[in-house]
Amino acid sequence: MKVVKFGGSSLADGEQFEKVVNIIKADQTRKVIVASAPGKRFANDIKVTDLLIEFAHKTINKEDCSSTVKTIWSRYHDIAAYFQISEQLLQPLLQELIALPKADYPNQDYLMASFKAHGEKLNAQLLTLVLQNYHLPAYFLDPQEAGFMVTDNANDTQVMPETYKNLEKWSSRDNVLVVPGFYGITKDGLIATFSRGGSDITGAIWARGIKADLYENFTDVDAIYAADPRIITHPHAIKVMTYRELRELSYAGFSVFHDEAIIPAIEGQVPINVKNTNHPDLPGTMIVPEHDFHPQSIITGVASSSHFAALYLHKYLLNKEVGFTLKLLQIFYKFNISYEHMPSGIDDLTVIFDKRQFNEQIRQQMCFEIQQALQPDQLEWFDDYAIIMVVGEGMRNKIGVMKNITMPLAQKHVAIHMINQGASRISIMLGTKRADAAAAVKEIYQQFFK
Amino acid sequence: MKVVKFGGSSLADGEQFEKVVNIIKADQTRKVIVASAPGKRFANDIKVTDLLIEFAHKTINKEDCSSTVKTIWSRYHDIAAYFQISEQLLQPLLQELIALPKADYPNQDYLMASFKAHGEKLNAQLLTLVLQNYHLPAYFLDPQEAGFMVTDNANDTQVMPETYKNLEKWSSRDNVLVVPGFYGITKDGLIATFSRGGSDITGAIWARGIKADLYENFTDVDAIYAADPRIITHPHAIKVMTYRELRELSYAGFSVFHDEAIIPAIEGQVPINVKNTNHPDLPGTMIVPEHDFHPQSIITGVASSSHFAALYLHKYLLNKEVGFTLKLLQIFYKFNISYEHMPSGIDDLTVIFDKRQFNEQIRQQMCFEIQQALQPDQLEWFDDYAIIMVVGEGMRNKIGVMKNITMPLAQKHVAIHMINQGASRISIMLGTKRADAAAAVKEIYQQFFK
């Protein structure tokens, strides 16, 4: 039994829908189909989810929504027309879209969640109609009916533990179950969505729930690559990798798969197959449990991300000052700032942040409070910080990996500002200036893959 | 004006005392002389401080102390005899030693502190007599009279801020001031000692207090070396280094200078000259403020220490779990355990401890509580952990240092378990197995100094 998730570009128009139908038809074990909202059809296209967000804002501001609704509906209507679905069958979907502003919402957050979720909800219903048109036993399964229960956080929800039990009983149904991704139902019967791109999470939860043999994740790339194709031309496609490797690479910008989505798959030990809707015969990338994996190379991938900043503190006897770190963590907590890493020396501490949490005012206020409370001898802020992750199960207990990373960087005069090795056994984390990140990835890739 | 501290081996017997007298005579700017207790005269000798600790224990246990007192007194008596100091001048010192058990102490901690401190107190008085014998204007300055005030922690005290002001006025005295190292006086007039080896701290406090031009620290080595002579035969002697470099190297076992002693010197910006009492004409090692230093080489020294242990934790989404680190710190706090470093990955955390804090029971209980409270997927303990520090102001903004460290280690098949670079800009910290530490130091030393 397989759970199959199709991304937004796989369900963007009639032609893409046809590929999806063929994929579903080709394998009867494809039991649960998770649908995303229609994505981009061409580079400058607007995703339906973004149109729905616009629709929600206009509703909140009591602006005229008619042109937005028309644009949204045209996306579904065009797909339906491709398959000659009758207007009569389509009417309920249009009514549902139009009715969105009229419903009661406890607050604007839930209004937003409900509007956004309908990108998936309408598309799943449309896909059901299309599959039925091909005489497949498709059944649209609403999250409410399925028992897909989530927490009260309207736009960044989490799955509730009872969901897994509720989903399990659906595995015995004969239908092809078509479920909308991205959202679930709160205990008050309200729609709440995962973070953006959350259909990956929905699929993983279903895969764990029905104890699937495989979770197929169809997207628009042939495989997960060992490096970013924008940096390395024709990078090596990864055939098999572990859950852990994917998590480490996701952290530094590998965005093929939502980084929270892997957790239910791990908990259920369901392997994931990332495949391309446009080339379904290619093997794609398998993501498997650690015990099923025998590394063929030292490193599996290298990634970089430049949305980091670093705070450097120097104070003599810092490592003897009990509570120094605790005070610092309390200040971060007060400003609702989370830190990523905190390498410490004898009298020094560097704190690395995801800098998207800051604006200039918060940064200044936080630094001011740290100065007041901890009285460091030195406090410096570095704004252009990139993190490079070199990841591979194959580097466990392997000697000389660090040499092979640092040697080519030294030859190309790339300065390494931070190295964090030893936290994870399957990765090495480097810090460089933002401007050096691409060169570093290039050199490391060449060293291990050429 | 100079403050000059002589270590225990420099004041161990008559011949050593004579060298000290000559050093003091040779330079009239040597104003404040800090005396240690008599140290070892030969490899298996017992230091007077250890004899005094034995004396204190026997007093507490109401055992016969006469043989211990006799052994202690013989040390001072032999030195006095070497200089033909009269028994009459010496009598008050013997009376002071004998009177120790009869005094009132608020508790056993203060008894212990007072007994220990008399190693320095008697030796400073004896040195005063010897200097006066040579017609030098020596004056024994008791910490009580000097205003050398310290906190209430009997055997691990800290200097009080007012001490600096109190000491300053002594700088105008014409005498050579002979002061005992290692202890000060609490607000209740009690003797409290620094941690063991604390005469270095006394000297640094005096140097800051009288705004000395130089703090000379006389010991029994010609210089501070770039590596441990037990690992590297005839290592390179360091001519000049910075305060910071010394602190980083002290951390990993460089024990020439007490690691707290450097702070008052830094605060007063007094340069330190580590010299050898046995070869006073050699230049020794100068320890200077950062702004006075122009590095001549990339690294200044490499040191290793193996009293570490590491705890490895793995938990999925650990970096999204707010308060994970906080909970961990609270458990450490409960067990009164301080951590050294905490490199973190995406789903992993390694905590490095000074393992001298643990016994097997505490370790097991702490790990049990961590397991209960944080429910990691994986928890492992590594007992044979060594830390290697590669230190040098010259490595700031220098590219390729890491390559030159990791390359020779890879060639010799030394596995690096942890690298912490980026906390301090002047050092790189490596973690290896204890058995690999000496080999690592050797390879790194060869790479940079040969």
- Residue ending a domain, choose from B179, B205, B220: B220
When pLDDT is averaged across residues B279-301 and rounded to a whole number, the result is 93
Contacts of B244 in chain A (CB under 8 A): 347
- What is the reported pLDDT for B299? 94
pLDDT in tens, A74-101: 999 999 999 999 999 999 999 999 999 9
**Is there a single domain that holds both residue A212 and residue A343?**
no
Residue A320, pLDDT score:
66
Q: Does A447 touch chain B (CB under 8 A)?
A: no
Q: Do A24 and A159 have their domain in common?
A: yes
Average pLDDT, chain B: 93
Sorting pLDDT into bands at 50, 70 and 90, what band is B137? very high
Domain membership flag for residue B243: no
A contacts of B316 (beta carbons < 8 Å): 247, 263, 266
Q: Which residue has the higher pLDDT, A425 or A44?
A: A44
pLDDT at residue A341, as a whole number: 85
Could you report the per-residue pLDDT of B391-416, keeping only the tens digit for each? 999 988 788 888 899 999 999 999 88
Supply the CATH number for residue A374's domain: 3.30.2130.10
Contact yes or no for B316 and A418 at CB 8 A: no
Same domain for B441 and B307?
A: yes
Domain boundary among A220, A240, A272: A220
Q: Smallest Cβ distance to A427: which of B244, B345, B416?
A: B345
pLDDT for residue A345: 80
Which of residues A178, A198, A220 is at a domain's end? A220
Chain B contact set for A428 (CB, 8 A) = 419
Test mutation, A208, A419, A432, chain B, max B CBs within 10 A: A419
Same domain, B93 and B195: yes
pLDDT exceeds 80 at position B77: yes
Q: Is residue B273 part of a domain?
A: no
Average predicted confidence (pLDDT) for chain A: 93
Mark yes or no for CB contact B247/A415 under 8 Å.
no
H/E run at residue B48:
helix B48-60
> Does the ipTM exceed 0.90?
no
pLDDT at position B321 is 67
Contacts of A294 (CB under 8 A, 6+ apart): none
Number of domains present in the structure of chain B: 2
Q: In A, residues 390-409, which contact B (CB 8 Å cutoff)?
A: 397, 399-400, 402-403, 406-407, 409
Give yes or no for a contact between B429 and B341, defined as CB atoms under 8 angstroms apart: yes
SS3 assignment, position B302: strand
Task: Judge whether B443 lies within some domain.
Answer: yes
Residue B334 backbone class (left: φ over 0; alpha: ψ -120 to 50; beta: rest): alpha
Q: Establish whether B116 is an annotated binding residue.
A: no
Describe the crossing of helices A324-334 and B324-334 by its angle, rounded to 10 degrees: 150
> What CATH number corresponds to the domain at position A146?
3.40.1160.10
Q: Are B403 and A403 an interchain contact pair (Cβ–Cβ within 8 Å)?
A: yes
Residues of B in contact with A334 (CB under 8 A): none
User: B329 exposed, middle or buried (CB, 10 Å; 0-12, 13-18, 19+)?
Assistant: buried
Phi, psi of B135, deg, nearest 5: 65, 30
pLDDT band at B259 (very low <50, low <70, confident <90, very high): confident
B441 within a domain of the structure (yes/no)? yes
| pLDDT tens per residue across span A308-353 | 999 999 888 776 666 788 788 889 888 988 888 888 888 888 899 9
In this structure, are B180 and B323 located in the same domain? no
Q: If you ran DSSP here, which 8-state letter would residue A235 be given?
A: P
Q: Are A396 and B417 in contact (CB under 8 A)?
A: no
Q: Which residue out of B250, B322, B338, B406 would a mutagenesis test of the A interface target, given it has the greatest number of A Cβ atoms within 10 Å?
A: B406
pLDDT in tens, A421-446: 877 788 999 999 999 999 999 999 99
Q: Are residues A174 and A321 in the same domain?
A: no
B190 and B327 in a common domain: no
> Measured between CA atoms, how close is B423 to chain A, in angstroms?
5
Q: How far apart are alpha carbons A423 and A428 in whole angstroms?
A: 9
Looking at residues A45-63, what average pLDDT do you find?
A: 97
Q: Do B97 and B213 reside in the same domain of the chain?
A: yes
For A139-163, what is the mean pLDDT? 97
Domain-located, residue B286: no
B52 and B188 housed in the same domain: yes
Give B199-230 pLDDT, tens digit per residue: 999 999 999 999 999 999 999 999 999 999 99
Tell me if A392 is assigned to some domain.
yes
344-383 in chain A: CB under 8 A from chain B: 344-350
> Is B416's Cβ below 8 Å from some Cβ in A?
yes
Query: Which domain does B131 fall in, by range?
Result: 2-220
Are A74 and A169 in a shared domain? yes
Nearest CA in chain B to A246: B346
Q: Are residues B203 and B82 in the same domain?
A: yes
Residue A363 forms part of a structural domain: yes
Do residues B336 and B200 share a domain? no
Residue A73 in any domain: the answer is: yes
Q: Distance from B255 to chain A by nearest Cα, in Å?
A: 15
Set of chain A residues whose Cβ sits within 8 Å of the Cβ of B338:
322
Of A399, A423, A425, the CB nearest to B349: A423
- pLDDT number for residue A322: 62
**CB-based contact, B415 to chain A, within 8 Å:** yes
